[in-house]
Amino acid sequence: MKKTTAYALSLALLTAALTLQVQPSAAAAKKTELLVSAAASLKDSLDVIEKTYEKKHPDIDLVFNYGSSGTLQKQIEQGAPADIFFSAGRKQMDTLVKESLIGDHATLLKNVLVMVVPANSKFTFTTVKELTNKSIKKIAVGQPESVPAGQYAKETLTTRNVWNPLQSKLVYAKDVRQVLTYVETGNVDAGFVYKTDALTSSKVKIALKITDDVHSPILYPAGVVKETKHAAEAKAFYAYLQTNEANAVFVKFGFKN
C-alpha cells in the first residue's frame, strides 16, 4: 500500500512538472502582441528598438511585418491585422488617412536616395545620365507603383530625361531591400536605394547621392491603425517612436529628423 501511494504521489508530481513545462507562464500569457507593418528600409533600426522597448515593457510583444509601403497599404485596406503603420512614403499614409483607416499619425523621419553599385565595381558616375552608356546592362529599382524608393528613382530619372531610354535595362524589385540584394550579388550594375540601406552593407558602395530637388521629399510617417484591438498599447508605442531615445537609434542608422 505504501509503495502504491508513493508511486501515485511521484506520478502526480511528474504530471504537474510536465504541465508547467508545456503551458505558458502567466506572464507570457498576459503579453500583448502589437503588429507593426513597416517599410523594409526600417528593419535594422526597428530591430534595435524592438529589443529596447520590450525590455522596458515586458508585457508587450512587438511583431513586425516588413515590406514595401504600397503592399502594406493594400494589406491594411483589405483588412489584414495591424496596429501601427510605418511608411516610407507620404502617399501611402495619406491614402489610408483619407480612407479613415489611420488615426493618430505624424511624419517622423527623412531619408536620402542614393545610387549604389557592387563594392568591386569599376564603374564611376558623375550623373545618372551615364546609366545610358552601353556598358551598363541592368539597373534595379523598386516597383514605382508600390515601392516609394522606386517612385523616387523614377522621378529622378524622369527629371533627368533618362527614364524612357533606360526601360530595357530596368529590373523591378518588390521592395528596397530586394534592390540592395540584386546589387550585392552583382545581378545588376547599379540600383537605387536609401542611404540607410546602403550603410548596412559592405557589399555595395555609394556611386551617387541624389539631390533632393529631382524627386518628392522622402518622408517616413507613422500612424495608429484605427481597427487596432490594442489602442492604448499601440498609441504608447507610437509615442515612443517619437522620443529622443528612439530618434537616437534612427539617426545612428542614417535617418534624419
- Backbone CA torsion sign across 119, 121, 122, 124: negative
CB atoms within 10 A of CB 255: 22
Cell numbers placing 218: 522622402
Helix residue spans in 99-160 (DSSP H): 148-159
The answer on whether 116 is annotated among ligand-binding residues is no
The answer on whether 198 is annotated among ligand-binding residues is no
The answer on whether 40 is annotated among ligand-binding residues is no
Rounded to whole angstroms, the Cα distance separating 30 from 58 reads 10
Element (H, E) at 117: strand 113-118
* Dihedrals phi, psi of 66, to nearest 5 degrees: -95, 145
Question: What angle (nearest 5°) sits at the alpha carbon of residue 82, between those of residues 81 and 87?
Answer: 135
Q: CB–CB of 65/33 below 8 Å? A: no
Tell me the residue type at 131: L
The answer on whether 194 is annotated among ligand-binding residues is yes
Rounded to whole angstroms, the Cα distance separating 217 from 206 reads 20
The answer on whether 149 is annotated among ligand-binding residues is yes
Binding residues for molybdate: 41, 69, 149, 176, 194
Binding residues: 41, 69, 149, 176, 194
